[in-house]
Structure 1
Amino acid sequence: MKIHLTSVFVNDQAKALHFYTEILGFTKKHDIPLGGGARWLTVVSPDEPGGTELLLEPAGHPAVGPYRAALVADGIPLAQFAVADVQAEYERLRGHGVRFTQEPLDMGTVSTAVFDDTCGNLIQLATQPQ
């Protein structure tokens, strides 16, 4: 068994696609119209085009708003992305205007940082030292 797909709820799929591809550097994999303006819209790591897909899922379900608001209010990231160097990625993303809620923090076995994805979520970056 392996993880094939996971999702983040987004307020605006076009805005999310721009952020996740142009700012974060993911590659669009699927973009299939579903009707009513919604799309089956996934991105993947350019390093693993056949790897796990991230679905940029419309946040229309009534439970999504309170769920995400509670996570953001408590500073809890919805997802975690692995990077080779948290500090370097923090600097790169800050250069693109990304707002961080937690600057890089070395916790011994892992270094993390948390940013706002502009689509209603907090996302954590993580690096495990070699």
Structure 2
Amino acid sequence: MRIELTSIFVDDQRAALAFYTDVLGFVKHHDVPVGEDAWLTVVSPDALDGPDLLLEPAGHPAVKPYRDALVADGIPLAQFAVDDVDAEYERLTEAGVVFTQQPTDIGVGTVAVFDDTCGNLIQMISMKPEAQ
């Protein structure tokens, strides 16, 4: 068993695609029209065959209260691995990304949390070599 696809709800698919590709550095993988929306996925440039992240429209009525509660409690909806949280924090801060948690040592690694501009908090982590 393996993870091929996971999703994240976004307020606006096109704005999310711009943020996830132009700012975070992911690569568009699928963009298939489905009514007014799209089956829109991105992948890491280091893993072009996936797993895919589906930028899923947040139109279902359960999505807003769920995401609002997570954001209010400071809980990230997703976590992405990076080689160096401090370097990514600097790069993304220079690009205008808003962080709700600055880089923090958690023993086994370093984490930081940012607002993805699409309604979600995202955590990034770099593990310490001895913890991997």
Q: Do the structures match in fold with TM over 0.5? A: yes
Over residues 10-33 of structure 1, what are the superposed CA-to-partner deviations in whole Å (9 max), with x where a residue is unaligned?
Answer: 000000000000000000000000
Give 1:64's aligned residue: 63
Give 2:120's aligned residue: 121
Give 1:33's aligned residue: 33
Give 1:21's aligned residue: 21
- Structure-1 separation of matches of 2:56 and 2:112: 24
**Unpaired segments ≥5 residues, structure 1:** none
Q: What is the TM-score with the length of structure 1 in the denominator?
A: 0.98
Give 1:88's aligned residue: 87
- Structure-2 separation of matches of 1:106 and 1:88: 14
Deviation at 1:51, TM superposition (A): 2.0
> Does 2:41 match 1:42?
yes
The alignment of Structure 1 onto Structure 2 pairs a total of residues equal to 129
Over residues 38-80 of structure 1, what are the superposed CA-to-partner deviations in whole Å (9 max), with x where a residue is unaligned?
Answer: 0000000000001210000000000000000000000000000
- Structure-1 separation of matches of 2:87 and 2:34: 38
Deviation at 1:107, TM superposition (A): 1.1
Over residues 72-120 of structure 1, what are the superposed CA-to-partner deviations in whole Å (9 max), with x where a residue is unaligned?
Answer: 0000000000000000000000010000000000111121000000000
Give 1:7's aligned residue: 7
Give 1:111's aligned residue: 110
- Structure-1 separation of matches of 2:120 and 2:42: 16
Name the amino acid aligned to 1:96: A
- Could you say what the CA RMSD is over the residues aligned between the two structures, in angstroms? 0.4
Identity of aligned pairs, percent? 67
Give 2:75's aligned residue: 76
